[in-house]
Amino acid sequence: MKYDGGMPVIIVGADTSFGMKIAERLSTETAELRAFVSDLDSVAPLRSLGCKVAVGDVSDESHTGAAAHGCFSAILITEAADDERERSFADTAFKVVRGWVAGARDAGVRRIIWVTDGSVNLPDVMAMEVATVHVRDEGALELVATYEDLATLP
């Protein structure tokens, strides 16, 4: 069975360790998986998984928005907003992730899944389904909320 009923999914920050793990997992479950990266060395491994890969500046919301055009879900890896990569359009991690939300909204994305270690403040996301996955110290992923929980979250 395919994830999201075959609707396209994009991973922004697929060139991070968690982004690659998520891409490996979803590549067998998703009809169309896209990856947005800035590290050219990650392109070939992601393409070998069947991902459509876009390369650009993670701090440019027009780059991330264009890559996400037509996607139903966006998996946003906050590590890519706050690591050592070059960013030309935003000078803080918060501005980067705020740009991701704006780009996703412009692209028509309906669902955002944050993957975060909690070090980056996340912007409010209105009129979209949102779930957050926290990365624990051991590097495991811990689901904080599921889509079914959304109606009961404060």
pLDDT digits (tens, 9 = 90+) for 41-85: 999 999 999 999 999 999 999 999 999 999 999 999 999 999 888
DSSP 46: H
User: In this predicted structure, which of 16-25, 54-63, 140-149 has the lowest mean pLDDT?
Assistant: 140-149
**pLDDT grade for 29, boundaries at 50, 70 and 90:** confident
**pLDDT grade for 16, boundaries at 50, 70 and 90:** very high
Q: Provide the H-helix boundaries in the chain.
A: 17-26, 43-48, 61-68, 93-107
**pLDDT grade for 23, boundaries at 50, 70 and 90:** very high
Segment 106-125 shows an average pLDDT of 86
**For residue 5, what pLDDT is reported?**
52
Residues 40 and 105: their CA atoms lie apart, in Å, by 26
What number of residues does the chain have?
A: 154
**pLDDT grade for 141, boundaries at 50, 70 and 90:** low
Residues 25 and 28: their CA atoms lie apart, in Å, by 6
**Model pTM?**
0.83
* DSSP track, 100-128: HHHHHHHHT--EEEEEE-S-SPPPP--SS
